[in-house]
Amino acid sequence: MTIEAMACELCERDGGGLIWRGGDCRVIRVDEPGYPGYCRVIWNAHVREMTDLAAPERARFMHVVFTLEAALRELLRPEKINLASLGNVTPHLHWHVIPRFRDDPHFPNPIWGAPMRQPDPQAHAPGDLAAALSERLSRL
């Protein structure tokens, strides 16, 4: 294990509320007020970039991202889904999958900017979203 991997929070912990884990990646729910359904898809092994993966691994990883996106669209009916792979703070390969609603704190701007309104914790609050997502991802 590299020194970088030894100090990586996504190697040491799930990174949020675990929804689903496969052999190569996992899906976690991000607890961010005003953003129901905000998830991350995290590669289990410590790699920094998509091109660190072999082509079949990249295809598998994106298949999980797209399956999650489709499930969130079906369950929450958001205005838009944002997909982002940043890793500037945590250089461990992961994708943010963020359902966006017109009344969320930052819409239409990116969620990492200054908020435009206060979050409404009850807005778009799904039932047992984690269970519904886990069921759909279990088909992978």
| Residue-level pLDDT at 123 | 83
> Is residue 3 scored above 60 in pLDDT?
no
* pLDDT tens string 7-48: 899 999 999 999 999 999 999 999 998 999 999 999 999 999
* pLDDT tens string 94-133: 999 999 999 999 999 999 888 999 988 778 877 889 999 9
| Residue-level pLDDT at 124 | 85
For 5-93, where are the E strands, in sequence order? 17-21, 25-29, 39-43, 80-84
| Residue-level pLDDT at 1 | 54
Tell me the CATH number of domain 3-137, given options 3.30.428.10, 3.40.50.450, 3.30.70.260, 3.40.50.300: 3.30.428.10
Q: What percent of the chain has pLDDT over 90?
A: 79
> Is residue 52 scored above 70 in pLDDT?
yes
Phi, psi of 105, rounded to the nearest 5 degrees:
-60, -20
What's the pTM value of the predicted model, to 2 decimals? 0.91
Cβ–Cβ under 8 Å, residues 57 and 45: no
CA-CA distance, 69 to 75, in Å (whole number)?
Answer: 10
Residues 6+ positions from 86 with CB-CB distance below 8 Å:
96
Q: Work out the mean pLDDT of the chain and round it to a whole number.
A: 92
Return the closest-CA partner of residue 136 out of 81, 72, 40: 72
Look up residue 53 and give its DSSP letter: S
* Cis omega (within 30 of 0) for bond into 99: no
